[in-house]
């Protein structure tokens, strides 16, 4: 239990519980099962994006292109579905688009030695332009009702998309923590030179991380289509910053090597829950970004201080143990 309490993910989950309880005291409707389910459904898109982003961040890189990948995929798959194409076809196309964008990002970072920030920022701009060209600057509308109905299908008392995403997060968490190859991502971000000396194919796994991030962004585009029911020309604009913030809030380090997809998913749920909480607390909409940003800074700073204090205490315990051991030896 002590080890669980020390986990960053536990503290993130605890803050989520406190958030619901505090807002629930102001407006009891916020604690209703309907609102909790709605908050979870609203966060699905961000959770999927955060899972992909976690792979990239673990290797010490950034993927700013996820918003553009989401928008382009949503536009392409939206037109496929609108014109009578099957959902399976849309899924396959989405995966191909996401993998393609990820491969381009990986090639630029690995082979051309371009900073991941610059490379993915350029791809973000390119995908935005491609989306406008593909749609002729128009919204993709008239999505079939059966597609929008996917967001309302229930299984085990939960939305089917919610179940799929939760199962996916659990499987990815197990892969990253329990398999030797899954731990390669943490090793690369923690000490790249050390990973190379251990024989880990660093470049290959960095490429994998960008491909996974691209595929997750593309799948998020499909979720966007099913939940919103149309695709605007600025779909996904600015979402990449929210996703990175969610990952950081969940304990994923921006310099690599530290973090879990469970933490990133919890961070995504918290950010979306904060926005809905402000609505239930009847806070004017123009304050939303300021309050959300301020809370994010406060949460991260407090957590960093707690982690620093815990590390200092652990270091002191280790030092005392060494002193006692030396005295006993003498």
pLDDT reported for residue 259: 87
Per residue in 156-193, pLDDT (tens digit) is 667 788 889 999 999 999 999 999 899 999 999 988 98
Predicted pLDDT of residue 266: 93
Nearest to 137 by CA among 218, 71, 93, 226: 71
Give me the chain's average pLDDT, please: 86
Alpha helices, H only, 63-140: 66-82, 87-110, 116-135
Residues 54, 63: Cα–Cα separation, whole Å:
10
Q: At residue 320, does pLDDT exceed 70?
A: no
Query: Under the phi-then-psi rule, with left for phi > 0, alpha for psi from -120 to 50, and beta for the rest, what region is 136?
Result: left
What confidence tens digit (pLDDT) does each residue in 70-95 have? 999 999 999 999 998 899 999 999 99
3-state class of 32 per DSSP?
coil
**Greatest Cα pair distance in the chain:** 83
pLDDT value at 150 more than 80: no
CA distance 90 to 86: 6
Comparison of pLDDT for 312 and 34, the residue scoring more: 34
- How many whole angstroms from its chain centre is CA 294? 20
In angstroms, the CA 244 to CA 112 distance is: 24
Q: How confident is the model at residue 136 (pLDDT cuts 50, 70, 90)?
A: very high
What is the structure's pLDDT at 306? 63
Lowest-confidence region among 113-122, 155-164, 226-235, 301-310:
301-310
C-beta separation of 90 from 77 below 8 A: yes
pTM: 0.88
For position 77, what pLDDT does the model report? 93
> Model confidence over 102-121: pLDDT tens digits?
999 999 999 999 999 999 99
Q: For residue 243, what pLDDT band results from cuts at 50, 70 and 90?
A: very high
Burial 269-290 (b: 16+ CB within 10 A, else e): bbbbbbbbbbebeeeeeeeeee
Q: What is the pLDDT of residue 265?
A: 95
pLDDT of residue 89: 94
Residue 7: pLDDT over 80: no
Q: What's the pLDDT score for residue 228?
A: 87
Dist. CA 135–CA 139, nearest whole Å = 7
The pLDDT of residue 262 is above 90:
yes
**pLDDT band for position 63 (50/70/90)?**
very high
Beta bridge partners of 138: none
Q: Does the structure show a pLDDT above 80 at 64?
A: yes
Best CA proximity match to 160, nearest among 67, 53, 87: 87
- Closest Cα partner for 54 from 169, 192, 165, 162? 169
Instruction: Provide the 8-state DSSP code for 223.
Output: H
Q: Residues 14-62: pLDDT tens digits?
A: 888 888 888 888 888 888 878 888 888 889 999 999 999 999 999 999 9
**Local confidence band at 249 (pLDDT 50, 70, 90 cut-offs):** confident
Q: What is the pLDDT of residue 5?
A: 63
């Amino acid at each position: 239990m002590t080890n669980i309490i020390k986990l960053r993910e536990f503290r993130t989950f605890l803050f989520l519980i406190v958030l619901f309880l505090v807002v629930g005291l102001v407006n009891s409707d916020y604690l209703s099962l309907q609102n909790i389910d709605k908050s979870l459904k609203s966060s699905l898109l961000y959770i999927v994006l955060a899972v992909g982003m976690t792979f990239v961040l673990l290797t010490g890189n950034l993927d700013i292109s996820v918003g553009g990948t989401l928008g382009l995929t949503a536009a392409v798959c939206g037109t496929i579905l609108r014109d009578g194409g099957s959902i399976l076809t849309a899924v396959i196309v989405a995966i191909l688009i996401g993998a393609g964008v990820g491969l381009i990002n990986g090639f630029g970072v690995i082979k051309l030695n371009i900073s991941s920030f610059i490379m993915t920022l350029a791809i973000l701009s390119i995908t935005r332009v491609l989306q406008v060209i593909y749609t002729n600057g128009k919204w993709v509308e008239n999505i079939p009702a059966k597609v929008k109905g996917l967001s309302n299908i229930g299984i085990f008392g939960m939305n089917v998309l919610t179940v799929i995403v939760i199962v996916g997060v659990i499987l990815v968490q197990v892969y990253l923590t329990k398999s030797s190859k899954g731990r390669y991502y943490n090793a690369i971000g923690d000490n790249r030179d050390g990973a190379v000396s251990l024989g880990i194919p660093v470049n290959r796994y960095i490429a994998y991380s960008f491909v996974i991030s691209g595929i997750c962004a593309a799948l998020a585009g499909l979720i966007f289509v099913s939940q919103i029911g149309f695709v605007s020309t600025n779909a996904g604009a600015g979402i990449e910053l929210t996703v990175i913030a969610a990952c950081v809030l969940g304990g994923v380090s921006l310099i690599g090597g530290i973090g879990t997809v469970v933490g990133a998913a919890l961070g995504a749920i918290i950010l979306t829950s904060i926005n809905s909480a402000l609505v239930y607390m009847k806070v004017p909409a123009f304050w939303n970004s300021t309050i959300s940003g301020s809370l994010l800074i406060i949460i991260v700073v407090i957590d960093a201080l707690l982690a620093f204090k815990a590390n200092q205490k652990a270091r002191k315990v280790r030092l005392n143990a060494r002193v006692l051991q030396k005295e006993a030896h003498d």
